[in-house]
Each structure stands twice: as structure tokens, then as C-alpha cells.
Amino acid sequence: MAYREKEIEKLYYSIGEVAEQFNVAPSLIRFWETEFDILQPKKNRKGNRQFTKEDIDQIHLIYHLVKEKGFTLNGAKEMLKQDSVAVKDKMELIDSLRKIRKFLTEVKEKLQ
């Protein structure tokens, strides 16, 4: 069995790192924080936001609804209030299908 080094995950991410993950401006993350109650990052003594993995998952939900699905902010809030679990499940399903599609495309390219 091959040795695999365990990836080190950070406990907290800065707003710049989170914005870079989603390819958006940090100001958009700050704006979403004021608009969505589910987004409550911790702040250190200086007032810098510290995002956990759970916070990033919430941002991913918001990003999916607003940027990918085209919901308005009010529409996204309503979807999250009604059934956030169903929204998360659908988002995860779409993400896994995209990964499978990417993998199959890579296999196809190697076979040609």
C-alpha cells in the first residue's frame, strides 16, 4: 500500500482566500455577510474575518444560487429558508456530475 501524505487543512481562512476560491471580490463576500443570516464568520481582535469550512460551505450555497442559478438575493434567501438541505443536496449532485464529466472528457482525450 502506498504512503499518502495527509493534506493539512486550515481551521480559518481569510476573506481574500475565500474570495479567491470563488473568483469574486472580497467586497461581495462582505456584502453577502450583511444580506444572509446563515453567514456569520468569526472576527479576530483586529476585526478581520476568519472563515471556517462551514462558512465556506454556506458561501458556496449562496454562490450557487446567486451566480450559477441566477437567483436574486431575495429569491436565494427564500430558497435557503424553505429547504436549505434540498438546495445543498442538489448543489452537491451538480458538482459531482461536473467532476464525472471532466474525468470522462479527459479519458476521451487520452484515447484519441
Which tens digit of pLDDT belongs to each residue from 25-64? 999 999 999 999 888 899 889 988 999 999 998 999 899 8
Give me the domains of the chain, ranges plus CATH numbers. Answer: 15-82 (1.10.1660.10)
C-alpha cell at 31: 456584502
Taking the whole predicted model, whether its pTM rises above 0.95 is answered as no
Separation CA 78–CA 101 (nearest Å): 31
Is 87:79 a contact under the CB 8 Å cutoff?
A: yes
DSSP assignment of the chain equals ----PPPPPPS-B-HHHHHHHHT--HHHHHHHHHH-TT---EE-TT--EEB-HHHHHHHHHHHIIIIIS---HHHHHHHHHHHHHHHHHHHHHHHHHHHHHHHHHHHHHHH-
Which tens digit of pLDDT belongs to each residue from 54-96? 999 899 989 988 998 899 999 888 888 887 777 888 888 888 8
Other Cβ atoms less than 10 A from the Cβ of 82: the count is 9
C-alpha cell at 67: 451566480
C-alpha cell at 75: 429569491
